[in-house]
Amino acid sequence: MTVIKLCGLRDEAAVRTVNEMKTEYAGFICSRPFRRYVDFDTLRRLKELLSPAVSAVGVFVNEPLDLPAALVRERLIDVIQLHGTEDNRYIDLLREKVSCPIIQAVKIDSFEAVTKAEQSHADLILADGGCGEGKTFDHSFLHQLKRSYILAGGLNPDNVRHLIRTFRPYGVDTSSGIETSGIKDPEKMRTFVRHVREAENE
């Protein structure tokens, strides 16, 4: 089964749609100054609304180790995603503080990036085209990536079925691809999830 992460959630309507669609992951941006950032009071409220069957992923960009560790301890997030320049030393130190899964985003734009992804100490790689800007990238590099990965970067309801059929990633991740005018669109969220599930049977 292809796991699904709908990211950049900021309001109760989006969380309710995630619960309805039963995705595996719900992503929350925990670093400023990114547009989809949620403060910790909002994160707490949304986490309480989120189905226990859905793992809350906190997305961090070059934050001090204590920030993601604290949010895990407070049970505001279940998974940590690193989306900056964090290295294996950072991941190793983070593991001393938490026991939750760690995802590392890697901009797959060269063979060197593929090597970095292969050597990452994270539990799972997120193959992206940038730093969460919804940019697509040269997917030919994915053929060189031997470990499991979540595919991100420009995914939307129109292209996700083809990408799953072509690359068979462990999972898929989208944020801007399920928005209308910068706001999560419940119908786009539902269509994205439906197309993922359909692609699994093709």
pLDDT mean by block of 10 residues, the chain; 202 residues: 97 98 98 93 98 98 98 98 97 97 94 94 92 65 93 96 95 97 97 95 76
**DSSP readout, 112-181?**
HHHHHHHH--SSEEEEESSSSS-----GGGGGG--S-EEE-SS--TTTHHHHHHHH--SEEEESGGGEET
The long-range contacts involving 162-167, CB below 8 angstroms and separated by at least 24 positions, are 163/139, 164/2, 164/196, 164/199, 164/200, 165/199, 165/202, 166/139, 167/139, 167/142
Share of the chain above pLDDT 90, in %: 88
**Whole domain around residue 149: which residue ranges?**
3-200
In this prediction, residue 137 carries a pLDDT of 67
Total domain count, the chain:
1
In this prediction, residue 180 carries a pLDDT of 97
In this prediction, residue 139 carries a pLDDT of 84
Within 13 Å and on the Cβ side, how many CA atoms surround 1? 9
In this prediction, residue 140 carries a pLDDT of 86
Read off the pTM: 0.95
CATH code assigned at 72: 3.20.20.70
